[in-house]
Amino acid sequence: MIGKPLTVLMPEFLRKVHEDGYKRYLATGQRHLNWQGHELTGLRKNGQEFPVEVTFGEVTADGHRIFTGFVRDISERKQAEELRASLHQTQGELARISRLTTMGELTASIAHEVNQPLTAITNNGSACLRLLANQNLDPEVLRRALEEIVADGNRASAVIARIRGFIKKAPEEKSELDVNEVIQEVLALVGPELQKNRVSVECDLRKALPLVLADRVQLQQVLLNLVVNGIEAMTAVTERPRELLVKSQIEESGDLMVTVRDSGTGLSSEADRVFTPFFTTKANGMGMGLRISRSLVEGHGGRLWATPNSPHGAVFSFTLPATGSSS
């Protein structure tokens, strides 16, 4: 390529841009693009366009200005970047499918939680109508009934808002979060399922935890998967209390650790097998919830693992790097 114009490597649409920029540089010294590692489109001998990275230089020898150009084919790098982007998108879709599947498993409990305040609203409204028909509506009774209707309406609205926030399709958005707050949100979401299965919950949450940089919905998904798995592991337990312990603490390394401990049927000697894609003990399970949870945690710079609980059940733990700020 020595002695030949750079335009022979350019598609037609770039040639005039380059020539105009080159003339402007000779006249004014003003560059029309970054000379170091600039990405452009190149042209092969067969007319095929391909991505390149170019670096230009200028030297003076014997009073002559000499321009140099280094062109590197970055097709493989671009393909790898596109593949990573595609895999990231696929992982996001799988995570959302997992969230929808989990919410599907909780449908009966959620319907019950929404139905309770709606039933109370109907009862209070009917009572007010009867009193009004009998012309016996005390203003104080009306005020209390309306207050209860508003409170129950807010209850139902809060349930729906939690569900919508959890299953909505939205891009990843990391921000500084208080993990204890996210734990409480998840326990509120799964509260009816805990009551339905007669599971008692104990929270041992470390105060003044450092904040973590995380996507709230993804962190909720990890915690919800672990809590729901714990509940399901205890459905066959009849001879001992069904107990779930959720704990947050700070490790010696400074990382934040969350532990979900149940008193269910426990794990086999190969505890890590539960993270294998499509491994499941549920009749209608996908076997992807824990695998996706581990991927989400690792995507936040942490790790997720499982160990047997003593004397019964399983312990799922995950860590996240702390930001340094305190909640």
pLDDT of residue 112: 62
- The β-bridge relationship of strands 64-73 and 174-177 is unpaired
What's the average model confidence in pLDDT over 283-307? 78
- The pLDDT, as a whole number, for residue 31 is 67
Per-residue pLDDT reduced to its tens digit, 314-323? 999 999 999 8
- Cβ atoms of 110 and 159 within 8 Å: the answer is yes
pLDDT category at 245 given cuts 50, 70, 90 is: very high
Residues 6+ apart with CB under 8 A from 183: 203, 205, 223, 246, 248, 258
Please give the share of the chain, as a percent, with pLDDT higher than 70: 78
pTM reported for the whole predicted model? 0.55
* Residue 120 β-bridge partners: none
- Min mean pLDDT across 51-60, 96-105, 213-222, 292-301 is at 96-105
Mean pLDDT for the stretch of residues 88-112: 64
Check residue 2 and give its pLDDT: 55
Mean pLDDT of 268-287: 60
Which domains does the chain carry? 6-73 (3.30.450.20), 106-171 (1.10.287), 173-327 (3.30.565.10)
Strands annotated E in the chain: 38-43, 49-61, 64-73, 174-177, 200-205, 210-215, 243-250, 256-262, 303-308, 314-320, 322-326
Helices (H) and strands (E) in the chain, counts: 8, 11
Q: What is the pLDDT of residues 134-148, one digit of tens each?
A: 777 788 888 888 888
DSSP assignments along 190-224, one per residue: THHHHHHTT-EEEEEE-TTPEEEEEEHHHHHHHHH
Residue 283's pLDDT band, with cuts at 50, 70 and 90, is very low
Q: Which residue has the higher pLDDT, 119 or 200?
A: 200
Average pLDDT over all residues of the chain: 79
Our CA dihedral for 43, 47, 50, 55, rounded to 10 degrees, sits at: -10
- For residue 198, the tally of other CB atoms under 10 A from its CB is 11
Strand ranges across the sheet with 64-73: 38-43, 49-61, 64-73
